[in-house]
A and B are shown apart, each in its own frame.
Chain A
Amino acid sequence: MNRKIRLTVNGTARAVEIPTYRTLLDCLRNDLGLTGSKEGCGVGVCGACTVLLDGKMISSCIALAVSADGHEVTTVEGLAADERLHPVQQAFIDAGGFQCGICTPGQVVSAKALLDTIPNPTDAEIREWMVGNLCRCTGYYKIIESIRAAAQRGRV
């Protein structure tokens, strides 16, 4: 029950043969070698596996890879361009938006999706958008500060 699927991952066309039960997360990590996205809870609650599917953030741990056939996926590996970090990534470094780092790929991808949708979010909008991106170090204030900083950088 294998299936050949074609995806555009971080702008590059990829074809891969996978069993139908492969999650998108496992496909990215194990078949395509993109280990930036993490598995935390495995049930769509924690946000560590967040990727963008056709520009919209989803939980890749509960998405079937076959359902992404023909679609575009963006992972944390796709944010930096030409050795330059994405403004959201740089802001997380500058503002101390992470401690242990396990949730960071999901936080950064979610924050990018936020700023793509709402370039100048209020704090309330940041909080609502980032619901379900859990940080086990409880560094939420710094995460919000990082997103605020990235938005301000976008305005300059």
Chain B
Amino acid sequence: MNAFEYAAPRTLDEALSILGEHGDDARVIAGGTALVTMMRQRLVSPGYLVSLREIPGLDRIEAANGDVRIGALATHRAVETSPLVQERIPVLAETFRRVASVRIRNMATVGGALAHADPNQDPPVTLIALGARVALRGAGGKREVPVEDFFRDYYESALGPGEVVTGVMVPRLPASSGAAYVKFLPRTADDYATVAVAATVTLEPDGERCRAARIALGSVSVTPIRAQGAETLVVGQRLGVDLLPAAGEAVKRVVDPLSDHRGSAAYKREMAAVMVGRALTQAWDAARASARGTR
């Protein structure tokens, strides 16, 4: 690893001012699972690290205006085991549980993972399907960006110079909704997905026809993606034998996977269609159960 200056300020304002002063040479560090690994491999060599770890309250997970607000410094394990998240957004707790190992989940933070912008990560996929927003803060003030617009390219996000992720806001699903996260993991339990899909389905009052759906995929492109073509196909429909293959075909047209040791591009494209079918089925079943519960 290269030599660097290190600061662990106690306030966000102080962190922002150090970042402003050092420009591109400074990087934000939280859990360090991504950054330290990249520094050890000499993929990045920042001259200044600004740790957010000592800023009090940045790890809070709380209900806020109908959303669940997860602070940037909350660890993956904290989200997975949060009673609030488990009760309000069980699919999100389950998604975080699928990341790496308990040990890594104890270290890796929610904000750090978003800022890292690796298209193979699990949480962004479910956050996109849930319509979550990333909260950012920079010298110019605060802003929010929908998670689906946050990722720009491999390891590139909408974060501006000197800006940091402060949290993520996750809205509650409407009544008669269900959600699912499906991670295709043919190798080891702690691996990145070969293909990952999250889906949410909201049903009409009849408890059968789809009123709204969101479908997102990971590990199939340079960023996690939303499959709006497939969403349009399923809205207004009942879950029938023809629907899932049609949705799968629509998804195959928007994925652009890389061939690697987790599978060839052609294989991943086929599996994306299969996994979308499974995610939609699970989300639909959960939505039906939710609709029955409210009637």
Contacts and interface: CB of A to CB of B under 8 A. Distances in A.
B100 interface: yes
Contact of A42 (B40, B101, B190): B40
Contact of A132 (B2, B40, B51, B104): B104
B210 interface: no
Contact of B103 (A19, A57, A66, A67): A57
B259 interface: no
B106 interface: yes
Contacts of A47: 101, 103
Contacts of B49: 20, 64
Contacts of B36: 23, 62-64
A82 interface: no
Contacts of A69: 8
Given A21-B1, A63-B32, A44 B6 contact: no
B4 A132 contact: no
Contacts of B5: 1, 20
Given A43-B37, A56-B106, A64-B32, A1 B101 contact: no
Nearest to A1: B3
B265 to A, nearest CB: 25
Interface residues of A, number: 28
A44 B3 CA distance: 21
A135 B278 CA distance: 33
A128 B102 contact: yes
Given A42-B40, A62-B32, A20 B103 contact: no
Contact of B102 (A63, A67, A131): A131
Interface in A30-84: 42-45, 47, 50, 56-59, 62-64, 66-67, 69
B99 to A, nearest CB: 11
In this complex, the interface size class of chain B, counting residues with CB under 8 Å from chain A, is: 20 to 34
Contact of B4 (A20, A42, A128): A20
A77 to B, nearest CB: 19
A153 interface: no
Contacts of A62: 32-33, 36-37, 40, 107
Contact of A57 (B106, B188, B189): B106
Given A58-B103, A131-B189, A67 B32 contact: yes
A55 to B, nearest CB: 10
A110 interface: yes
Nearest to B104: A44
Contacts of B29: 64, 67
A21 B103 contact: no
A132 B3 contact: no
A140 interface: no
Contact of A43 (B32, B40, B106): B40
A45 B190 contact: yes
Contact of A59 (B2, B4, B107): B107
Interface string B20-40: 000000000100110011011
A69 B77 CA distance: 22
A64 B6 contact: yes
B238 interface: no
Which of A42, A50, A131 lies at the interface centre, i.e. has the most chain B CB atoms within 10 A of its CB?
A131
B107 A63 contact: yes
19 contacts: A1-B4, A20-B5, A43-B37, A43-B40, A44-B33, A45-B190, A56-B106, A59-B33, A59-B104, A59-B107, A62-B37, A67-B29, A67-B53, A69-B8, A131-B102, A131-B190, A132-B101, A132-B103, A132-B104
9 closest A-B pairs (Cβ-Cβ)? A132-B101, A21-B1, A20-B6, A62-B36, A56-B106, A131-B101, A132-B190, A131-B189, A57-B103
